[in-house]
Structure 1
Amino acid sequence: MAGVQKSLIFDLDGTLVDSCAICVEILDDMLRDRGSDLVIDPEFARPWMSEGGPRMVAALLGSACADPDEEIAEFRARYATKRTARSSLFADVEKGLIDLREAGFTLAICSNKPQPLVDQVLADTDLAHLFSSIVGGRPGIPSKPAPDLLEAVLEELQVRPRDCLFIGDSEIDHAVADCLGIPFMFLTHGYAKADYIPDPDRSFDRFGDLASTILAGVHA
């Protein structure tokens, strides 16, 4: 594997798991409990999934949003009662991750989702055992695109940025990778904004294609 980045760091939501439906379900329930007749359009909601919980909740609840701190706390409490179905995984994710790990890559997660929810989602989808480092949002640590969470992954793995790849689905993921000088690979099936223009040579519509490209580099 000479010359190949041996550590692969993945975003979670929009990269491995399509969490939009469960988030919209929770927020629609919150709206109904407030007597609102607003129904959230899932397509409108998708780009907000990468913005971090507080901004997402405030934007999608709209005029029904009261105290933002209380709203995000309620949203996360409701999320903790939900089970993330394995069917929420994007196509080829489980097989691709297994193939990459069996080829000798070290896998890690770097997500803005709070750590307890990251752990819960990975347990629900039976992916947790594949990762050597799992870093989610933590009190007092700025969210991506600030570099702090990604730096925590590098510290846990004891690796240098040049020895990693970061794989994500949004301009926020690209920005944090660039901040630390980590090469970035993009999955189009996630939550990027419409005006984000990724590098077409490092963009993939399916996780299986991304995994195959990385694996091909081992033997190049």
Structure 2
Amino acid sequence: MTISAPCPIIFDLDGTLIDSAPDIHATVNRTLQAYGYGGLSFAQVRSFIGHGAPHLIERVIGTLPNALDADMKASFLNDFLRAYDQAVDLTHLYPNVRGALQHLMDNGHPLAICTNKPVQPTQSILAHLGISDFFKPVIGGDSLTTKKPDPAPLRAVLATLSCDPANALYVGDSEVDAQTAQAAGVSFALYAHGYRKSSCAEIASRFGCALIFDDFTELTAFIDTKTPPITAP
């Protein structure tokens, strides 16, 4: 990987910058209970995360003992989204994320978000955690007609930043993110503690990774070695 400063750094959100699974799990179970069903386990709901809210709810509905018609499915999804728009209390940043973002911004790197989470809950969570000002643009799962792993959302970020894909880095936690980066021609850094379904080695073998990291201090150190520091004139 060869990049030059300032290198845009584009982040996935859930499982990459934030651990949102507790809020997602709680909101799923509140929605299920409102429809008269019992809750699902944390591990089961967590395994459904990654392809956006419609896919998540489709998987949730698939666990129910009786089938729902199309209208009921749409109602269930809308009720989940309405509740999740402001579900932020159980969501937290992964260790050293805030310091990494500040370091990257201070060194001149444009920062952006490309996530399958809908834009409204994305903005709510960024504001709640006090990190909204780091990111421009923010592309969510409902910003375009397609979601990751289609490369269109990531390409939309690159276009907004007027950035050559070869001079950008996408940071994510899953097969979906790695596939998206590969399709867009963007180098990929894999955070090892997110919501991936297979091993880091398997993801690297299938899609390629410029970096696999356990802590965000490793990410900033890696980027620092690839780009010259910003110095005062």
Measured in 2, the distance between the counterparts of 1:129 and 1:88 equals 17
1:56, CA displacement in angstroms?
A: 1.0
Q: Where do 5+ consecutive residues of structure 2 fail to align?
A: none
Aligned pairs (5 A) from 1:21-170: 21-37=22-38, 39-61=39-61, 62-63=63-64, 66=68, 67-84=72-89, 88-138=92-142, 141-170=145-174
**2:212 aligned residue:** 203
1:55, CA displacement in angstroms?
A: 1.5
TM-score by length of 1: 0.89
Measured in 2, the distance between the counterparts of 1:106 and 1:146 equals 23
The one-letter code matched in structure 2 to 1:173 is D
**1:214 aligned residue:** 223
- Runs of 4+ deviating beyond 4 Å: none
Measured in 2, the distance between the counterparts of 1:173 and 1:56 equals 16
Rate the CA distance shift 1:101–1:151 in 2: closer, same or farther, 3 A. same
Measured in 2, the distance between the counterparts of 1:162 and 1:180 equals 9
Q: Which moved more, 1:159-168 or 1:75-84?
A: 75-84
The one-letter code matched in structure 1 to 2:9 is L
CA contact (8 A) 1:166 1:185 kept: yes
CA contact (8 A) 1:54 1:69 kept: no
Rate the CA distance shift 1:178–1:106 in 2: closer, same or farther, 3 A. same
Measured in 1, the distance between the counterparts of 2:3 and 2:26 equals 45
The one-letter code matched in structure 2 to 1:56 is L
Measured in 2, the distance between the counterparts of 1:78 and 1:16 equals 22
Q: Where do 5+ consecutive residues of structure 1 fail to align?
A: none
1:193, CA displacement in angstroms?
A: 0.7
The structure 1 residue matched to 2:193, chosen from 167, 185, 189, is 189
* Percentage of identical aligned residues: 28
Q: CA RMSD in A?
A: 2.2
SS of the residue 1:212 aligns to: helix
Structure with more helix by fraction? 1
Aligned length: 217
The one-letter code matched in structure 2 to 1:149 is P
Listed one character per residue, the Cα deviations across residues 22-69 of structure 1 (whole Å, up to 9, x for unaligned) are 0000111122222323x3222232232102111112213421673332
SS of the residue 1:113 aligns to: coil
SS of the residue 2:203 aligns to: coil
1:19, CA displacement in angstroms?
A: 0.8
1:206, CA displacement in angstroms?
A: 1.7
SS of the residue 1:78 aligns to: helix
1:208, CA displacement in angstroms?
A: 2.2
